Structure 1
């Protein structure tokens, strides 16, 4: 039985991601208020896209990675400007029997810079597909100030 990953645009501009075996029936559930709690408060407008996957496990894995995308990135995926494979982690085949999901989805150089800046760690990498070298150093004052501890005052015994 095939499973589908689907993207629904909601009235507030958000994009809901889910999995199902029947996209039309599931959208009808979302539309009449018996679907996910998320779409009960944000009325669904339309199905932006659906992607057929081999089984529930594959669909759940894809759903996990797609839910990490921003609404704009989800719209790129729905519009065909981004492929589902570009969102999923790369699979490394070790032996014929073993595979390891070891590499996160491909990221753009700007994503690398933003992630490094947020993590405040040094980063030096060359992106082979673009050919630019990125170097990010943490700010000198990257360490947050320590909070002062409250001194405990002796309490008088209760009467």
Structure 2
């Protein structure tokens, strides 16, 4: 396993702490990531995304979707005591899980839907107006002959304004 020293990044940048922390977290986590439940991340538009998670056997009441500190947390709790009957083969996993996704800046969860054993979570990137590119108009220089001439007041005019 490779290790990277991110100290030069901290020394040379200001305000990128979150990116450096995310890189550090990704590089230090184990390679063996959990594969349950399976999921897809889909780009549905230029600024819209959908995360689809296979949640067969779970009801919407057993699922939770939360956003905490720029992290999307999807969790499921299954009450095993509620299932009745004795299984001869159990191939559908309905065990509890928690899946986390780090969200980029300006990402917002707009909704979640449970349909046909799939949990679909809709996300959208909302860029603030201040961060959007904007065009700056360039003023044209004026000829010296067309610039207004500023005349200096005469000393007699100044004396009249002082007396009044």
Per the normalisation by structure 1, the TM-score is 0.23
Could you tell me the TM-score, scaled by structure 2's length?
A: 0.22
Quick check: which one's helix share is greater? 1
